[in-house]
Amino acid sequence: HYFCDAWHTFDALIVVGSIVDIAITEVH
Protein backbone atom coordinates (compact mmCIF):
# COMPACT_ATOMS: atom_id res chain seq x y z
CA HIS A 1 0.00 0.00 0.00
CA TYR A 2 2.83 2.36 0.87
CA PHE A 3 4.53 1.65 -2.44
CA CYS A 4 1.31 2.49 -4.27
CA ASP A 5 1.01 5.83 -2.46
CA ALA A 6 4.66 6.62 -3.16
CA TRP A 7 4.17 5.82 -6.84
CA HIS A 8 1.13 8.12 -7.07
CA THR A 9 3.13 10.89 -5.39
CA PHE A 10 5.98 10.37 -7.86
CA ASP A 11 3.53 10.42 -10.77
CA ALA A 12 1.97 13.64 -9.46
CA LEU A 13 5.41 15.26 -9.20
CA ILE A 14 6.11 14.39 -12.83
CA VAL A 15 2.81 15.94 -13.92
CA VAL A 16 3.43 19.09 -11.86
CA GLY A 17 6.98 19.29 -13.18
CA SER A 18 5.74 19.05 -16.75
CA ILE A 19 3.18 21.81 -16.18
CA VAL A 20 5.80 24.05 -14.58
CA ASP A 21 8.21 23.37 -17.45
CA ILE A 22 5.52 24.31 -19.99
CA ALA A 23 4.59 27.42 -18.00
CA ILE A 24 8.22 28.57 -17.87
CA THR A 25 8.58 27.95 -21.60
CA GLU A 26 5.41 29.98 -22.29
CA VAL A 27 6.65 32.88 -20.13
CA HIS A 28 9.98 33.01 -21.92
pTM: predicted TM-score of the whole model, two decimal places? 0.58
pLDDT digit string (tens) for 1-28?
778 888 899 999 999 999 999 999 999 8
What is the rounded distance in angstroms from the CA atom of residue 2 to the CA atom of residue 26? 36
- Annotated domain spans of the chain: 1-28
* pLDDT number for residue 24: 97
Query: Using CA atoms, how far apart are residues 3 and 10, in angstroms rounded to an integer?
Result: 10
The pLDDT, as a whole number, for residue 2 is 78
User: According to the model, what pLDDT value does residue 18 have?
Assistant: 98
